[in-house]
């Protein structure tokens, strides 16, 4: 990857490594619909002024409304609700482990979208190492959960794997700010009625409000712009590898902010995750060029000479160079 790609990758690893904790805090006092509405509405309010300043927003919507709608449904409207609802029963570590399956699913679905890039043994090994690292990191922390919540996270995984493919294939020409602002505004409109009906009876605590603000401003507005730029920089499959780094970020925050112990298991998991990320995001090797056979490079002429692809007459082996007559 380029330096810009690594910067975006690192940024996304951080800003999408903390939503699990924030969702867990917010959903204790606010309904899943309310959490999704708040983060989408806040993100849209922050980004819409910049998207409007670019000009042509209405034309962009008219020209690309179908893929915009598909992206909003598959990336935001569906997955954000199912993930938020699942975290009422799942620990954030469990959710992070399950979401880490996104790159594997993305590779599978990429074949259906016509992705012909060869993965190679190195990238496949990286995917496996990253998944192993997440398993080592989160297995000791697995708690709670039921069949419904696990199925909800599975829906999120599929959405997160498919939506970047739609963006890379059908939304390349749409400016990042306009794409993000429109999709977030649409999601906010969809969840507004449910958010109103399920609003809490009293004002949430300062912790829940802070979590909601962080979800909307950092984990939605900033993160979505960076993620779409990352997709355009490195492609949808490599961009999805950030889901390997996110659980590691959550553990780091616990060590630095909460005084949690840094164990040998955590260090081993970090090594696997970082190594897997580097290998999985590596570019495929350029195919070696093969020499073109003489018979393919040259064609016979009626005068007995041989004409090369450059159009210059060449002598055929055994010819005198003056013709056969």
Q: How confident is the model at residue 130 (pLDDT cuts 50, 70, 90)?
A: confident
Does residue 274 fall inside a structural domain?
no
Q: Is the pLDDT of residue 146 over 80?
A: no
Q: How confident is the model at residue 31 (pLDDT cuts 50, 70, 90)?
A: very high
In angstroms, rounded to a whole number, what is the distance separating the alpha carbons of residues 215 and 296?
61
Average pLDDT of every residue of the chain = 78
- The rounded percent of the chain whose pLDDT value lies above 90 is 33
Contacts of 252 (CB under 8 A, 6+ apart): 17
Does residue 238 fall inside a structural domain?
yes
pLDDT at 310: 44
Q: Is the pLDDT of residue 188 over 80?
A: yes
Does residue 136 fall inside a structural domain?
no
Q: How confident is the model at residue 26 (pLDDT cuts 50, 70, 90)?
A: very high
In angstroms, rounded to a whole number, what is the distance separating the alpha carbons of residues 42 and 212?
9
- The whole model's pTM is what? 0.72
Does residue 319 fall inside a structural domain?
no
pLDDT at 83: 93
- The rounded percent of the chain whose pLDDT value lies above 70 is 71
Q: Is the pLDDT of residue 59 over 70?
A: yes
Run of H or E residues at 298:
strand 298-300
Does residue 255 fall inside a structural domain?
no
Does residue 172 fall inside a structural domain?
yes
Residue 140 C-beta-side C-alpha neighbours within 13 Å: 9
pLDDT digits (tens, 9 = 90+) for 204-241: 999 999 999 999 999 899 888 888 888 888 777 677 67
Does residue 49 fall inside a structural domain?
yes
- Cα–Cα distance list, 101 to 93, 153, 230, 269, 280 (Å): 13, 10, 19, 16, 13
The closest alpha carbon to 160, from 283, 45, 279, 244, belongs to 244
Q: Residue 173 CB: number of other CB atoms within 10 A?
A: 9
pLDDT digits (tens, 9 = 90+) for 240-280: 676 667 767 766 766 676 565 667 776 787 788 767 766 76
Residue 256 C-beta-side C-alpha neighbours within 13 Å: 6
Domain of residue 20 covers 3-125+142-247
In angstroms, rounded to a whole number, what is the distance separating the alpha carbons of residues 75 and 86?
16
Q: How many domains does the chain have?
A: 1
């Amino acid at each position: 990857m380029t330096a810009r790609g690594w910067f975006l990758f690192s940024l996304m690893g951080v800003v999408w490594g903390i939503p699990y904790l924030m969702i867990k805090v917010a959903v204790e006092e606010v309904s899943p619909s309310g959490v999704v509405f708040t983060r989408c509405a806040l993100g849209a309010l922050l980004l819409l002024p910049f998207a409007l300043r670019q000009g042509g927003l209405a034309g962009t919507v008219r020209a690309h409304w179908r893929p915009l709608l598909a992206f909003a449904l598959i990336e935001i409207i569906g997955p954000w609700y199912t993930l938020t609802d699942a975290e009422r029963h799942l620990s954030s570590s469990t959710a992070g482990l399950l979401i880490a399956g996104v790159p594997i699913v993305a590779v599978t679905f990429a074949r259906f979208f016509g992705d012909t890039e060869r993965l190679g043994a190195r990238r496949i090994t990286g995917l496996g190492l990253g998944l192993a690292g997440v398993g080592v990191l989160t297995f000791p922390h697995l708690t709670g959960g039921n069949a419904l919540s696990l199925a909800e996270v599975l829906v999120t995984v599929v959405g997160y794997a498919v939506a970047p493919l739609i963006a890379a294939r059908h939304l390349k020409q749409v400016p990042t700010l306009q794409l993000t602002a429109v999709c977030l505004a649409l999601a906010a409109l969809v969840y507004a009625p449910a958010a109103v009906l399920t609003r809490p009876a009293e004002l949430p605590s300062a912790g829940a409000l802070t979590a909601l603000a962080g979800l909307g401003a950092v984990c939605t507005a900033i993160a979505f712009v960076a993620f779409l730029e990352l997709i355009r920089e490195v492609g949808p499959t490599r961009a999805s590898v950030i889901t390997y780094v996110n659980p590691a970020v959550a553990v780091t925050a616990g060590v630095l902010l909460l005084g949690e112990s840094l164990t040998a298991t955590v260090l081993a998991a970090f090594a696997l995750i970082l190594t897997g990320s580097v290998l999985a995001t590596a570019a495929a090797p350029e195919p070696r060029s093969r020499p073109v056979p003489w018979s393919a490079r040259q064609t016979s002429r009626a005068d007995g000479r041989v004409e090369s692809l450059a159009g210059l007459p060449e002598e055929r082996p055994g010819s005198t160079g003056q013709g056969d007559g």
